[in-house]
């Protein structure tokens, strides 16, 4: 869930699962800039030592795609989503 909080600031909610057992939800405040083709964003969050510490996030969203990287001292990865194409049903 992404919610505008003020001006160019948005709050993005994430849910994570570690080792298929531990579940954790958190929010990240993102600074968003609109370009001619997308919304680009950056943010950071300190999830505490037990959840990996400090994370940096960066990415972009369009009307059909969302891509974001995340990185910490011990972890990194990519979130990617794409809007499905409409069918004639």
Eight-class DSSP state of 83: P
- Asked whether residue 52 is assigned to any structural domain, the reply reads yes
Eight-class DSSP state of 38: -
- Asked whether residue 17 is assigned to any structural domain, the reply reads yes
pTM, entire model: 0.76
- Asked whether residue 65 is assigned to any structural domain, the reply reads yes
pLDDT digits (tens, 9 = 90+) for 37-55: 999 999 999 888 777 789 9
Residue 89: is its pLDDT beyond 70?
A: no
- Asked whether residue 89 is assigned to any structural domain, the reply reads no
Total residue count of the chain as it appears in this document = 89
Total tally of structural domains belonging to the chain: 1
Residue pair 44/55 in contact by the 8 Å Cβ criterion: yes
- Asked whether residue 30 is assigned to any structural domain, the reply reads yes
Q: How far apart are the first and last CA of the chain?
A: 28
β-pair partners for 39: 34, 61
């Amino acid at each position: 869930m992404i919610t505008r909080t003020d001006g160019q600031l948005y709050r993005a909610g994430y849910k994570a699962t570690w080792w298929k057992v531990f579940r954790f939800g958190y929010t990240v405040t993102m600074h968003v800039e609109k370009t001619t083709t997308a919304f680009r964003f950056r943010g950071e969050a300190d999830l505490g030592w037990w959840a990996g510490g400090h994370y940096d996030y960066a990415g972009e969203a369009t009307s059909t795609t969302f891509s974001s990287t995340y990185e910490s001292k011990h972890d990194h990865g990519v979130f990617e989503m794409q809007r499905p194409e409409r069918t004639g049903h």
